[in-house]
Structure 1
Amino acid sequence: MSAYALAHLRPSAEPHEEVFQYMERIQATLDPFGGRFVVHGAPVEVREGEWPGGLVIIEFPSIEQAREWYDSPAYQEILHLRADHIPGDLVLVDGVEPDHDSAAMAAAMRAAANR
């Protein structure tokens, strides 16, 4: 099952040289873990609430590979290049199976709540 790294980043107005270095080097840290960008720098269209900043989504073959990427020495070596200049939040999350059914999920949750 695919898993994702989602980053909500709030960049400053001025790009920093270290951020460019991070961008140039991150793909090499993703490759050994099967990571690929799904969303990277596209404009965010806010329909509900607020979303200051941008969104990055990286897909991995599994949550284990996402964790291994984030904890890898190669990624940890470059992380500060972004984090020192662009504040943000990053989460790792499992995706859903191809046959995911939200109605069945609601029924299971309702049954559990009524126990």
Structure 2
Amino acid sequence: MPKAYWINTFRVITDQGRFAAYAELAGPAMEAAGGRFLVRGLPARAFESGVVERTTLIEFPSVDAAVAAYDSPAYQEALRALGDGAERDVRIVEALP
């Protein structure tokens, strides 16, 4: 089963306090679900239609593991903490064999 990658971009962060509360809960939730953070922060450079927005890339053992992480009670708690404090785009992509 191929690995999967969770790609999360924050289009707009409207409440830094809520974002900080989310980050404090979300990181441990992802790691507890088998995720390994590979990237966290703003892009060093953006080209063509690239947008400079906070990006997170997390490696998981499989798509199922990444989806289970999203659905987990711990991550759902992090989402409640974030509330409407940010506008995000979350994608889970299967790795090439």
1:5 match: 6
The residue matched to 1:79 in structure 2 has which SS?
helix
Q: Which runs of 4+ in 1 moved over 2 A?
A: 80-83
Unaligned runs of 5+ in 2: none
Shift of 1:58: 0.9
- The alignment covers a number of residue pairs equal to 96
Q: State the percentage of identical aligned residues.
A: 32
1:63 match: 63
Higher relative contact order (CA 8 A, sep 6+): 2
Q: Greater helix percent: which structure?
A: 1
Shift of 1:83: 4.7
TM-score by length of 1: 0.72
Unaligned runs of 5+ in 1: 98-115
TM-score by length of 2: 0.84
Give the distance between the partners of 1:88 and 1:96, measured in 2 at CA.
Answer: 25
2:82 match: 82
Higher radius of gyration, 1 or 2: 1
Contact 1:44-1:55 at 8 Å conserved across structures: no
Q: Greater strand percent: which structure?
A: 2
